[in-house]
Structure 1
Amino acid sequence: MSFKSILQEVKGEAGNISRKGFDVKFGYGMRSRSHRVFQDSYVVVNAFRQSCWANMPPELLRDILMRIEASESSWPHRKNVVACAGVCRSWREIVKEIVKTLEVSGKLTFPISLKQPGPRATLLQCYIKRNCGNQTYYLYLSLNQAASNDDGKFLLAARKCRRPTCTDYIISLNCDDVSKGSSTYIGKLRSNFLGNKFTIYDGQPPNARARVTKCRSSRLVNLKEISPRVPSGNYPVAHISYELNVLGSRGPRRMQCIMDAIPVSAIEPEGVAPTQTEFLYSSLDAVSSISFFRSKSTRSENFQSGPLTGQKDGMLVLKNKAPRWHEQLQCWCLNFNGRVTVASVKNFQLVASLENGAAGQEHENVILQFGKVGKDVFTMDYQYPISAFLAFAICLSSFDTKIACE
């Protein structure tokens, strides 16, 4: 049989399969007819195989996926659950139903888990690696106790961008493309000129009442860097303030975090914090609505409209846990339960604060702790009701240079 007859037979079989119900899309710009025939048959075979997987009995498919989800409890084996969600649409829908939220399961599975509140019972252990050369920071899920010697599971990346009057930390899901023009951009952290006040912006609205805030990043940009999946605005979700220490009194930093999107009732036993279940992407119309010219009236809007001085009613407020002075060591000490090994002014523990400003005994459990364990390696442990994105942004504020705060 000649090569030409083989091609005609393959093309005939592909045509028969396509007439049975498959929609075959032919490629454009093929340099030869034989290449197009093989391409078409490859598409048809893939569609046929996918239909076989998709047409499995739902009861059998659900049982298989439930066993896989239950057996793969931690990374790197957890990637099998993510792979199952990528087989086809029916598999993805079942996996999304089986996999519980991070608050319930305590497992980081999909990227949306980074925007969900952490587990209630225990602190989720992570660590941050700093690259001083290119001003980038990488968040990893700690797979064992030796964080400094463990590559871990990559979660988030941030890049520091210095401005004349402020500093931005762009946060992305992609460690290789940390820019606001990327489709993996999820938010940013912005400081004021002194570096003692910060605002955390989410790339997507945390709730239905969220309002977009204009910012300096709306300056003229390259149109090629704009993606249709880029969020259309910045939504303030938290404000961080460090107390000024002009007189130079002895003691560690004093910080306060106001969570705009989390109610104070979330720390109660039956409290509920907002939980995102999927990423929402903007359309082409949303991209066209971005302003490409800087407005003088919006330069200082970010820090004038924040609820740092008031409007804290109903919002969750976090304050750093007061350390104790150790007479023998002649230093301030906090109990990090072995997770922090190097003394640093950046180390802190955050606890929930009552409305009167004093930390109550019933809220003494640490919600976020951050500390140094080696050169450019820091641990970050967090739990409900904040997410990994919020915890990472709060820790990034500790890296920034602060005038008159130490």
Structure 2
Amino acid sequence: MPIMIRTIINDLKSRSQRVVQDASSMDSVSDGLLQSCWAHMPQELLREVLIRIEASEDTWPQRKSVVACAGVCRSWRHITKEIVKIPQFSSMITFPISVKQPGPREHLLQCFIKRNRATQTYHLYLSLTSTLFDDGKFLLSARKCRHPAGTDYMISLDSNDGSKGSNNHVGKLRSNFVGTKFTIYDDQLPHPGAKVTKSRSTRLANLKQVSPKVPTGNYPVAHISYELNVLGSRGPRRMHCAMDTIPASAIEPGGIAPTQTEFSQSNDEENSVSGHLGDQNDGVLVLKNKAPRWHEPLQCWCLNFHGRVTIASVKNFQLAASPENGPAGPEHDKIILQFGKVGKDVFTMDYRYPLSAFQAFAICLSSFDTKIACE
């Protein structure tokens, strides 16, 4: 089996030098591989081969073999997409679309963020080991852009290209002038068939000429606010996150959060409007930071990060679901997102269902921004 895998991958590399970024954008690659001898493998045998590859290559960088198999041809892609489970069930991030899909229910998916002060960029990596420092698997990047009304963090699938006009652009985080309120925007709808309402700002944006291959959606999916800190820089921040596209019932047993299945490449009117979802009837998920306790011997505020945070910082936080419409249950005790400092410019980011890596990353980016009115 290993010999077959190496032969397939070498054949793929010899036929195409293009980098496959996602299953939804592989048509041009697969068209050039239709004559490959691997494209005509019997379906039963092909499925058995791909199941074994998926089961054996369960960590990065070996998992590149699974992505390579999805790029051989169309039939390989379809079967690979059927076999590879979303992070909610597999606890693994395989394709780029995985960063838009909710994480696992039973445990936190461990990641870390590296900050580059000189370039005002932030890079998100998937942790490959249980240690706090490893090379990691790159997932997303963000570039900080200041403007008169506030700050934008442009989020991209590319580590070097964070421009909005790029095909790699997946969303942004926008702050108000004083850095107390933020909005997370997604480039596409949270799930197929979601209803939205048009806004004036979007109608004006539609007047711009944009490449047909670049999605121009601008959908607000979450709102973050920081409350006034009466203790100033000595006390912990207080966060409030309203996840506009995730129902409050998602954290309950059997609850469902929206799951994107592929990146949209269309540029029609439906994918160019912005607004809130119009098909929710049970309220949205609200996240609030867990209150720390004062540690008298250390003279500081403390939270239990279970070894994932090593340096005290006002940026450190843990978010859990807030019982907005009833008594707190066991699901409200679970940490959904935690973020903390482990080095001068290195921070851990651990998240779980119903948040996606993209949503968790955007929330953490809000912690980097200066809070003029709060501190």
Q: TM-score, normalised by structure 2?
A: 0.84
**1:290–1:316 Cα change, 3 Å:** closer
Tell me the residue number matched to 1:200.
184
Which residue of 2 is the match for residue 317 of structure 1? 286
Q: CA deviation at 1:362?
A: 3.9
Q: Note if 1:345 corresponds to 2:314.
A: yes
Equivalent in 351, 359, 362 of residue 382 of structure 1: 351
Amino acid at match of 2:309: V
Deviation at 1:332, TM superposition (A): 0.6
| Aligned partner (choices 237, 246, 265) of residue 221 of structure 2 | 237
Deviation at 1:270, TM superposition (A): 1.1
With over 3 angstroms needed to count, the CA separation of the structure-2 counterparts of 1:282 and 1:361, relative to structure 1, is same
How many residues get paired?
A: 340
> In the alignment, what sits opposite 1:23?
none
Percent of residue pairs identical = 69
1:252 matched to 2:221? no
Paired residue type of 1:190: R
Q: Is the 8 A contact 1:117 1:385 kept in 2?
A: yes
1:48 to 1:187, Cα distance in 2 relative to 1, 3 A? closer
Aligned partner letter, 1:202? D
Q: Which residue of structure 2 aligns with residue 392 of structure 1?
A: 361
Q: Which residue does 1:20 correspond to in 2? A: none
Give the drift of 1:227.
3.1
- C-alpha spacing 1:169/1:60, structure 2 compared with 1 (3 Å): same
Matched, 1:118 2:103: yes
Q: Counterpart of 1:7?
A: none
Write the deviation string for residues 85-108 of structure 1: whole angstroms up to 9, x where unpaired. Answer: 000011000000111111011110
Equivalent in the alignment of 1:29: none
Tell me, in whole angstroms, the C-alpha distance in 2 between the residues paired with 1:137 and 1:195.
18
Cα deviation, residue 259, structure 1: 0.4
1:210 has 2:196 as partner: yes
Secondary structure at the aligned position of 2:320 is classed as strand
Tell whether the 8 Å contact from 2:34 to 2:73 is kept in structure 1 after alignment. no
Q: Structure 2 vs 1, CA of residues 337 and 388 (structure 1 numbering), >3 Å: closer, same or farther?
A: same
CA spacing shift, 1:222–1:213, aligned 2, 3 Å: closer
> Are residues 1:55 and 2:40 paired?
yes
Q: Return the letter of the residue paired with 1:235.
A: Y
- Deviation, structure 1 residue 250: 5.4
Pair 1:214–1:105, CA change in 2 (3 A): farther
CA distance in 1, matches of 2:206, 2:247: 36
CA deviation map 1:288-311 (0-9, x unaligned):
x989xxxxxxxxxx9xx999xxx9
Q: Deviations over 1:152-197 (max 9, x none)?
A: 1000000000010111000000111111000011100000111000
The aligned residue for residue 168 of structure 1 is: 152
Structure 2 counterpart SS, 1:63: helix
Alpha-carbon offset, residue 55 of structure 1: 1.2
User: Which of 125, 136, 139 is 2:124 aligned to?
Assistant: 139
Structure 1 residues 195 and 77, CA gap change in structure 2 (3 angstroms): same
Q: Who is 2:338 aligned against?
A: 369
Q: Which runs of 5+ in 2 are unaligned?
A: 1-31
SS of 1:332's partner is strand
Q: How many angstroms apart in 1 are the aligned matches of 2:102 and 2:250?
A: 10
After TM superposition, the structure 1 stretch with the greater mean CA deviation from structure 2, 207-216 or 334-343, is 207-216
Question: By how many angstroms is 1:233 displaced?
Answer: 2.3
Cα separation, 1, equivalents of 2:207 and 2:119: 22
**Aligned match of 1:266:** 250
Q: Tell whether the 8 Å contact from 2:50 to 2:80 is kept in structure 1 after alignment.
A: yes
User: Quick one: structure 1 residues 82 and 218, their matched pair in 2 at CA, closer, same or farther if it must change by over 3 Å?
Assistant: farther
Equivalent residue, structure 2, for 1:328:
297
Cα gap change, 1:221/1:175 in structure 2, threshold over 3 Å: closer, same or farther?
A: farther
Question: Structure 1: which amino acid aligns with 2:312?
Answer: A
Partner in structure 2 of residue 34 of structure 1: none
CA apart distance, 1:210: 3.0
**CA, structure 1 residues 65+398, in 2 after alignment: closer, same or farther (shift >3 Å)?**
same
User: Alpha carbons of 1:306 and 1:247: their partners in 2 closer, same or farther (altered >3 Å)?
Assistant: farther
Who is 2:3 aligned against?
A: none
Largest Rg, 1 or 2: 1
CA deviation vs aligned residue, 1:204-233 (integer Å, no higher than 9, x gap): 01141134556599779996xx43222222
Whole-angstrom distance in 2 between the partners of 1:162 and 1:80: 40
Following superposition, the deviation at residue 279 of structure 1 comes to 1.0
Alpha carbons 1:213, 1:233 under 8 Å: kept: no
Could you tell me how far apart the structure 1 residues matched to 2:145 and 2:242 are?
A: 24
CA distance in 2, matches of 1:110, 1:128: 19
Aligned to 1:3: none
SS at match of 1:367: strand
For the residue of structure 2 that corresponds to 1:126, the secondary structure is strand
Which one-letter code corresponds to 2:49 in the other structure?
I
Which of 236, 253, 261 matches 1:277?
Answer: 261
C-alpha distance in 2 between matches for 1:278 and 1:175:
20
Aligned partner (choices 78, 83, 91) of residue 93 of structure 1: 78
Q: Which amino acid aligns with 1:209?
A: K
Give the root-mean-square deviation of aligned CA atoms. 2.8
Tell me the TM-score normalized by structure 1: 0.78
Q: CA separation of 1:277/1:161 partners in 2, compared to 1, >3 Å: closer, same or farther? A: same
